């Protein structure tokens, strides 16, 4: 029977600026006696990518603008954090007294431009999203290929809220080595009728699946997803972003 | 290392009205030599639940209203299908020349009130969502418990589009036997800071994961998800629906 495995990789050290994540992941896998296979998908939480890329910001270094201070007062939040959220965004998509939903510079629509301070040692420090998560994914993929002589795909994820539904799910923000969307349009269903309008967001399904093994409170930011049939491609998470002219909710 | 398995169950027959899905699933598992374990999560595609519950409608029996005909003309679609979409909805959330996004009677926000005609033998017949997918899930759970003496959880899924992102993902529309949301608020992260605002939509992550094994074109509407740590509860997918007064996108 067709099966997929989701395997959590523990034993990763605390990540610091300049660390080569691909190398650390390969080493942690070795230590755990885990062997990668070709075509495994390596799913990595954004937080450690941001740490490795030095995307931590000390709030003490941030001077809030008037606009940031205004929003912060309305939402009873730290104006320096709001300042960073605005800097990392192209625009505010929705805002009320509790929530600040922005479109990030990458085009992702999420709360707080993806900035948060969970799992960071210093409580005055926050993590921004990687500048170019596709590039980060490609780098890690390259490091793994070089160290192991194996082709894996890499997905970088963050937990995003959704319109209409409660709770966060893990979503893909960076992709390397796979086609993130699978297009079934024009293919026949069980009964020979052509499927219409069916494009599956494979990379987001992989990301969400990995969220079952990653844990917000445990140090397990890397999950290997094995057995997914995907189309090998350079790949990018950009295809997962609906262009705003086709988006009825932006 | 912590691992989760997603196992697709093949060999299910074409489902007809009145079929007991729990029984058919147990039989298909037996035929395949597959053994359920306690606490497995049984993920079932909405389509076969709708078939078993007689939620297929022959379009020839539908007389479209004036409003349905108007929308159908604008969108160049079958007015009888649009009539059913309106009947199954509480209201239209967004509409343009291509897309009709409604809030279903259950409260789900999705395209076309979840109605479609893929994987149905007769091309003039469409499938509506189950009337009460939580009830459907509880029934199947009860049947499995009775036949196998085992407690499993059940999630019924449909593929939904999302705001802001391209592609469909599998989402939970019916839940029995597990708490669909996991609340980490007030728990410490790696560094002892309390996590704020972190509620994970576990049932949706399980649903999305199962989408990797279910396939739109293959007859594989049942996936067993093994190894997920969940909180046993009567459960319901209702908790996954954001109340409209807290929803900035409805």
- Per-residue pLDDT at B2 exceeds 80: no
The residue ranges of DSSP E strands in B161-242, in sequence order, are: 169-176, 182-183, 199-200, 222-226
Mean pLDDT is lowest, of A66-80, A117-131, B129-143, for A117-131
pLDDT (0 to 100) of residue B184: 84
Cβ neighbours of B167 in A, within 8 Å = 180-182, 199-202, 204, 240
Give the Cα separation of B42 and B152 in Å (integer): 7
Query: What are the residue boundaries of the structural domains of chain A, listed by start?
Result: 5-54+130-239, 57-126
pLDDT (0 to 100) of residue A215: 67
Question: Taking CB atoms and an 8 Å limit, are A184 and B217 in contact across chains?
Answer: yes
Cβ neighbours of B41 in A, within 8 Å = none
Beta carbons of A42 and A152 less than 8 angstroms apart:
yes
| Average pLDDT value for residue range A106-124 | 91
pLDDT (0 to 100) of residue B123: 82
| Average pLDDT value for residue range B211-224 | 82
Q: Does B28 touch chain A (CB under 8 A)?
A: no
Which of A201, A228, A249 is nearest residue B169 as measured by Cβ atoms? A201
Pairing verdict, β B56-58 and B125-127: antiparallel
Give the Cα separation of B187 and A190 in Å (integer): 46
Residue A39: which pLDDT band, with cuts at 50, 70 and 90?
A: very high
Each residue of B150-159: pLDDT tens digit?
Answer: 999 999 999 9
Each residue of A135-184: pLDDT tens digit?
Answer: 999 999 999 999 999 999 999 999 999 999 999 999 999 999 999 999 88
Q: Does B159 touch chain A (CB under 8 A)?
A: yes
Cβ neighbours of A193 in B, within 8 Å = 117-118, 120, 123
Residue A130: which pLDDT band, with cuts at 50, 70 and 90?
A: very high
Residue B11: which pLDDT band, with cuts at 50, 70 and 90?
A: confident
Tokens at B65, concatenated: 């209203």
Superfamily of B5-53+130-239 according to CATH: CofE-like (3.30.1330.100)
Residue A189: which pLDDT band, with cuts at 50, 70 and 90?
A: confident
pLDDT (0 to 100) of residue A2: 76
Regarding an ipTM greater than 0.90, the answer is: yes
- Per-residue pLDDT at B217 exceeds 60: no
Beta carbons of B55 and B130 less than 8 angstroms apart:
yes
Give the Cα separation of B148 and B98 in Å (integer): 47
Tell me the average pLDDT of chain A.
93
The answer to whether B5-53+130-239 and B57-126 have equal CATH topology is no
| Average pLDDT value for residue range B9-33 | 94
Question: Taking CB atoms and an 8 Å limit, are A199 and B166 in contact across chains?
Answer: yes
Beta carbons of B174 and B206 less than 8 angstroms apart:
no
| Average pLDDT value for residue range A104-113 | 97
The correct CATH number of A57-126 out of 1.10.287.1040, 3.30.70.20, 3.10.28.10, 3.90.1660.10 is: 3.90.1660.10
Least Cα distance to A154 among A129, A169, A135 occurs for A135
pLDDT (0 to 100) of residue A191: 74
Pairing verdict, β A41-45 and A153-160: parallel
Higher pLDDT, A243 or A191: A243
pLDDT (0 to 100) of residue B193: 73
CATH architecture of A5-54+130-239: 2-Layer Sandwich (3.30)
Tell me the average pLDDT of chain B.
93
Q: Does B113 touch chain A (CB under 8 A)?
A: no
Q: Does B100 touch chain A (CB under 8 A)?
A: no
Question: Taking CB atoms and an 8 Å limit, are B2 and A2 in contact across chains?
Answer: no
* Cα angle, residue A162 at apex, residues A160 and A167 outer, rounded to 5°: 75
Instruction: Tell which B residues from 213 to 232 touch A, by Cβ distance under 8 Å.
Output: 213, 216-220, 225, 228
Q: Between helices B79-87 and B66-75, what is the axis angle to 10°?
A: 120
What predicted TM-score, i.e. pTM, was given to this entire model?
0.96
| Average pLDDT value for residue range A100-122 | 93
Query: Which residue out of A28, A212, A249 would a mutagenesis test of the B interface target, given it has the greatest number of B Cβ atoms within 10 Å?
Result: A212
**Residues in CB range of B151: below 8 A, 6 or more apart:** B38, B39, B145, B177, B232
**Residues in CB range of B70: below 8 A, 6 or more apart:** none
């Amino acid at each position: 029977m067709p099966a997929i495995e989701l395997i959590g990789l523990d034993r990763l050290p605390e990540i610091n600026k300049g660390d080569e994540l691909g190398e650390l992941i390969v080493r942690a896998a070795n230590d755990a006696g885990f062997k990668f296979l070709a075509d495994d998908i390596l799913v990595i939480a954004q937080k450690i990518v941001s740490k490795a890329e030095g995307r931590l910001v000390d709030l003490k270094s941030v001077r809030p603008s008037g606009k940031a201070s205004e929003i912060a007062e309305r939402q009873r939040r730290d104006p320096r954090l709001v300042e960073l959220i605005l800097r990392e965004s192209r625009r505010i998509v929705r805002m009320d007294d509790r929530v600040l939903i922005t479109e990030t510079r990458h085009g992702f629509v999420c709360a707080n431009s993806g900035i948060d301070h969970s799992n960071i040692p210093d409580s005055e420090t926050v993590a921004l999203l990687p500048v170019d998560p596709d590039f980060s994914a490609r780098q890690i993929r390259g490091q793994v290929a070089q160290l192991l002589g194996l082709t894996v795909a890499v997905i970088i994820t963050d937990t995003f809220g959704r319109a209409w539904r409660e709770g966060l799910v893990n979503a893909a923000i960076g992709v390397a080595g796979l086609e993130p969307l699978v297009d079934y349009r024009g293919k026949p269903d069980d009964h020979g009728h052509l499927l219409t309008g069916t494009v599956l967001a494979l990379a987001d399904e992989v990301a969400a699946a990995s969220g079952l093994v990653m844990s917000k409170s445990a140090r397990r930011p890397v999950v290997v997803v094995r057995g997914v049939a995907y189309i090998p491609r350079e790949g990018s998470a950009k295809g997962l972003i609906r262009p705003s002219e086709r988006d009825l909710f932006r």
